[in-house]
Chain A
Amino acid sequence: AQSVTQPDIHITVSEGASLELRCNYSYGATPYLFWYVQSPGQGLQLLLKYFSGDTLVQGIKGFEAEFKRSQSSFNLRKPSVHWSDAAEYFCAVGGESGGSYIPTFGRGTSLIVHP
C-alpha cells in the first residue's frame, strides 16, 4: 500500500528565508508524486508533479522539488519565501488502481511566515 509522511506539522520561517518541506513516501513501483498548496477556506492547488525524467522539478510560484529514489523523498523547496506563501502544503503519491491513479495525501505541513 502506498503512504506519505510529512514529518513536520508546522514550519515557521522569516520572510525572505529559504524553505524546505519534507516528504517521504512508500510505494512499490515508480511513484507519481505531487505537491499541493491549500490556502485557508480554499481547495488545493497543484504546485508541481513528478512522473519520470529529470529528478528536479520546477513548479509554479517559484517552488521546486527534488525526487530522491534512494531516500524515498520528494522535498519541496523555495529559495526566498514571501508572506503570501503562508498556507498548508500537501505531498501526495499516486498509484494505479482499477486503471486509474488515486493519490494518497500526507497529513500536511502548515507554513507560517514571519515578517
Chain B
Amino acid sequence: KAGVTQTPRYLIKTRGQQVTLSCSPISGHRSVSWYQQTPGQGLQFLFEYFSETQRNKGNFPGRFSGRQFSNSRSEMNVSTLELGDSALYLCASSLEGLLYGYTFGSGTRLTVV
C-alpha cells in the first residue's frame, strides 16, 4: 500500500515568488491536512480538506491556500513568499479525519532566499 507522497522533496524559491506543493494521499483516504514545521514554531496546522471542501483552517495569512481534487490529491499554494515561509511542509492523510490517525508524508522542504 503506497504511503502519502509529497512532491517535490526540496524547493528553493526567491522572496516574492509563489510556490505550489503537491500531496497524494493514501488510496481511499478522503481527509488531507497540511502542516508547517519550523524549529521556532514547531508543527502548526494550516488547513484540512475533506471531499474537496476545506473543513478547517489554521491561523495563517491568506497567502496560504489549498485545494483538493476529486481523487483526493491536494495542492498547497503560497503566494508572495517571505523569508519566514522557509519550513518543512507536511501533508497528512486520513480516512475521515484525526480520529482515525494521520499518515504523514515525508514533507517538502521549502527554502526562501
Tell whether B84 is near chain A: CB-to-CB under 8 Å.
no
Chain B nearest CB, measured from A51 CB (Å): 7
Question: What are some 12 contacts across the A-B interface (CB < 8 A)?
Answer: A36-B104, A42-B106, A43-B4, A45-B104, A90-B43, A98-B55, A100-B50, A101-B99, A102-B33, A103-B45, A103-B98, A103-B102
Chain B nearest CB, measured from A58 CB (Å): 14
Interface readout for B75-113 with A: 1 if CB under 8 Å, 0 if not?
000000000000000101000011101111111000000
- Tell me the chain A residues, 91-115 only, with Cβ under 8 Å from chain B: 94, 97-108
Known contacts A43-B105, A94-B98, A102-B58; 15 further A-B pairs (Cβ under 8 A): A36-B104, A42-B106, A44-B102, A44-B104, A45-B104, A46-B103, A97-B56, A98-B56, A100-B31, A100-B48, A101-B97, A101-B99, A102-B33, A102-B48, A103-B102
Tell whether B42 is near chain A: CB-to-CB under 8 Å.
yes
- Which of chain B's residues has its CB closest to A42's CB? B106
Chain B nearest CB, measured from A26 CB (Å): 16
Enumerate chain B residues within 8 angstroms of A106, measured Cβ to Cβ. 42
In the bound complex, CA of A97 to CA of B56 (Å): 7
Which of the residues A100, A104, A108 comes within 8 Å of B56, measured between beta carbons? A100
- Which of chain A's residues has its CB closest to B109's CB? A41
Tell whether A63 is near chain B: CB-to-CB under 8 Å.
no
